[in-house]
Amino acid sequence: SVAHPFYGTAEQAGIRTEPQRYCVYMTFDLSSPLASDLQVLLARWSGAIAQVMQGKTIGQVEPNRTDAVGVDTGEALGLAPAGLTVTVGLGPRLFTDASYGLAKQKPTLMRALATLPSDAMTPALTGGDLSLQACADDPQVAYHAIRDLARMAKGTAATRWTVMGFGRASAGKDQATPRNLMGYKDGTRNIKEETDFDKFVWVKDSGPAWTQGGSYQVVRKIQMNIENWDADRISDQNTVFGRDKQAGAPLSGGTEFTTPNFHATASDGSTKISPTAHIALAAHENNGGVKILRRSYNYTDGLNQYGLLDAGLLFISYQNDPAHFEALQTKLGSSDRLNEYISHIGSGIFFVPPAPAAGHYIAEAMFA
């Protein structure tokens, strides 16, 4: 069972890390107006995250004094680290609310996301001042981490919204491409090369020193109209994505990893990949060369009030400029054939600082 280090790794784990099988994502609202409370929470979270990523508890499960409450809730005892990563994000209000005094420390491009075409947000599923992305190959290990970190936040931050993800829907460099709940391979043309991480993921600008090497995390809870999708004929499903379902090959021909040819035409003169297919709109070739790192998971909330499957994609992307996501989603939200089958119901933006050095904690230099 893999254990990832928390300290001294430049970037936080859980971004470049090969996607694990499960994810529990949770956001929090700061209830305390004091920067010192936020500082203590980030320090305590850092210490606890370092422990759980090594498969350890965050403190005693059975305190010596039997009338004391356990520090750790105990459900991960005996479970291996399972590749756990916990990635901490900081929301926009930390830098805009004068009570924290952090305006000068604002990551250069940090701001609330613009309202985008086709947004169908449920307020209770949007925003947040802090985010935790816990991913592991064992769902109980990921859940334990979030539960115990949420417990530590009491009095400083309150839980806001959460999504439990399974069956990663994004591929790492050495992984076979997994599938999303629409049955399509997801992550075929994701960022995989170092040069692209440097160019598109990590922040390198003239902003505050502590933000260098961090990244902006955009999260969307995207509901799928599963029954409608399942009733759609396969030729239309393929047209929606611009790829073939089973093999994942672009409709312009070849195999999964063949570069799509968005100009190739069929005998009737139409392009083999529709100009409004998901990949045609999202591809870097058609977006001024811009790429984002996708690190999504499938989710289900069971059934909705009509007895229909309530499921979708916990979309998580990392980029060094939130405008890259906005530009893509502006196009997708206006024209994507996929829109008939999905709704963006939740959203958040967070700055993910670099990892702390040993003996330090996440975003420590922000309080200097």
Per the CB < 8 A criterion, the answer to whether 310 and 301 are in contact is yes
CB atoms near residue 255 (< 10 Å): 10
190 in contact with ligand HEM (CB under 6 A): yes
List 313, 316, 352, 362, residue binding ligand HEM (CB under 6 A): 313
x-or-dash pattern for ligand HEM, window 258-277, by CB under 6 A?
Answer: --x-----------------
Nearest distance from residue 152's CB to ligand HEM, in Å?
32
Per the CB < 8 A criterion, the answer to whether 345 and 134 are in contact is no
187 in contact with ligand HEM (CB under 6 A): yes
CB atoms near residue 271 (< 10 Å): 17
CB atoms near residue 333 (< 10 Å): 17
Q: Which of 342, 341, 362, 340 is nearest to 353 (CA)?
A: 362
Q: Which two tokens stand for residue 73?
A: 């809730």
Site residues (CB under 6 A) for ligand HEM, limited to 89-108: none
282 in contact with ligand HEM (CB under 6 A): yes
Q: Which of 27, 43, 69, 127 is nearest to 362 (CA)?
A: 43
List 13, 136, 163, 332, residue binding ligand HEM (CB under 6 A): 332
Residues ≥6 apart with Cβ < 8 Å to 34: 99
Which of 45/315 has CB closer to ligand HEM? 315
Which of 325/361 has CB closer to ligand HEM? 325
Nearest distance from residue 54's CB to ligand HEM, in Å?
32
238 in contact with ligand HEM (CB under 6 A): no
CA 59 to chain centroid, in Å, comes to: 28
Which of 157/282 has CB closer to ligand HEM? 282
Beta strands in 118-243 (DSSP E): 130-136, 157-168, 215-224
Give the count of residues interacting with ligand HEM (CB under 6 A): 28
Residues that bind ligand HEM (CB under 6 A): 180, 182, 184-190, 220, 222, 224, 241, 243, 260, 278-279, 282-284, 292, 313, 315, 325, 328-329, 332, 342
